[in-house]
């Protein structure tokens, strides 16, 4: 069983605390297939890379709903005429769920050399972004009004 230490990521991210806590908890559960990595690719960008050797893009699905990212793999029926003497490459059906933080969207997914890459981006809404407040001096300006 593998344990991933997300503590370095806690120090440098805001809003992903729940994401890493849930991923850490998911990593401690018994199912470990298929193996995956989570990496930070930019200030507000992350990538989940999952080893899905033997699966084609038709046999994989990636779905984001509310705060859950679900990755499923389902192999097509195997050719009955093939006789497998030893099975070392897993091809079983899987479903892996990841809890994602608020304001995180799935940017895209790609399959390359048996690795499924799912790119995530954290987009802070304009209302939540910091804004500079101008500081004025204590002098008050008098507005002159003239009667016509």
The CA-atom distances, in angstroms, between 113 and each of 44, 55, 57, 59, 120 are 26, 10, 11, 15, 20
User: What total of structural domains would you count in the chain?
Assistant: 1
- pTM of this structure: 0.62
- Per-residue model confidence as pLDDT tens for the chain (148 residues): 455 565 565 554 555 556 666 666 655 555 578 899 999 998 889 999 999 988 888 999 999 998 889 999 998 777 778 888 887 877 788 999 988 888 888 999 999 999 999 999 988 777 777 778 888 887 655 555 566 5
Q: Answer whether residue 139 is part of any domain.
A: no
Range of the domain at 52: 7-125
Residue 11: CATH number of its domain = 2.60.40.790
Q: Answer whether residue 107 is part of any domain.
A: yes
Q: Answer whether residue 145 is part of any domain.
A: no
């Amino acid at each position: 069983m593998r344990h991933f230490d997300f503590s370095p990521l806690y120090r440098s991210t805001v809003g992903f605390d729940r994401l890493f806590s849930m991923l850490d908890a998911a990593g401690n559960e018994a199912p470990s297939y298929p193996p995956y990595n989570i990496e930070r690719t930019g200030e507000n960008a992350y990538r989940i890379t999952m080893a899905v050797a033997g699966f084609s893009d038709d046999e994989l699905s990636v779905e984001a709903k509310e705060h859950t990212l679900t990755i499923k793999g389902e192999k097509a029926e195997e050719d009955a005429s093939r006789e497998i003497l030893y099975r070392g490459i897993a091809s079983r059906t899987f479903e892996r769920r990841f809890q994602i933080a608020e304001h995180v969207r799935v940017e895209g997914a790609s399959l390359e050399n048996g690795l499924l890459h799912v790119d995530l981006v954290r987009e802070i809404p304009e209302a939540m972004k910091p804004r500079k407040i101008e500081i004025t001096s204590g002098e008050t300006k008098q507005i002159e009004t003239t009667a016509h």
